[in-house]
Amino acid sequence: MADYILIALLIALIIYFLFRRFYTPRYLKTLSQEDFKKGYRKAQLIDVREQREYEGGHILGSRNIPLSQMRQRLNEIRTDQPVYLYCQSGARSRQAARVIKKKRGAENLHHLKGGFKKWEGKIKKK
């Protein structure tokens, strides 16, 4: 009997963590490429991928604040301007938005649907 309870608890924890990773909160607006392109030049454009990914190619005009460094570099993000986030697929940008909202109180948060792998606009490689 104890084995069934332990297995059920483990399954519940896995479901909870998957939900948190892939759920898009209401304060984060998911934008299509078209809408993202319309607004990112008037906003803070942040690539939350790791530096090596960023150097392999990134959206023109973006700056790199990897998710792994986000908490240490939060003071680089202004809360009075829109924040446009992207990563490779969208999962890390959702996590970054959660951190920015919780720790900085930013309200105007957006991320790119499908992430950089779906991007068809201009890119820059280092």
Per-residue pLDDT tens digits for 98-114: 999 999 999 899 999 99
- Is residue 16 very low, low, confident or very high in pLDDT (cuts 50, 70, 90)? confident
Rounded to whole angstroms, what are the CA distances from 55 to 49, 50, 64? 10, 9, 9
- Is residue 73 very low, low, confident or very high in pLDDT (cuts 50, 70, 90)? very high
Q: What is the mean pLDDT of the chain?
A: 92
Q: Is this structure's pTM higher than 0.85?
A: no
- Picking from 86, 79, 95, the residue whose alpha carbon sits closest to that of residue 113 is 86
Which residues, including other chains, have CB under 8 Å from residue 122's CB and lie 6 or more apart?
59, 60
What is the structure's pLDDT at 23? Answer: 65
Indicate if the pLDDT at residue 63 is higher than 70. Answer: yes
What is the structure's pLDDT at 14? Answer: 87
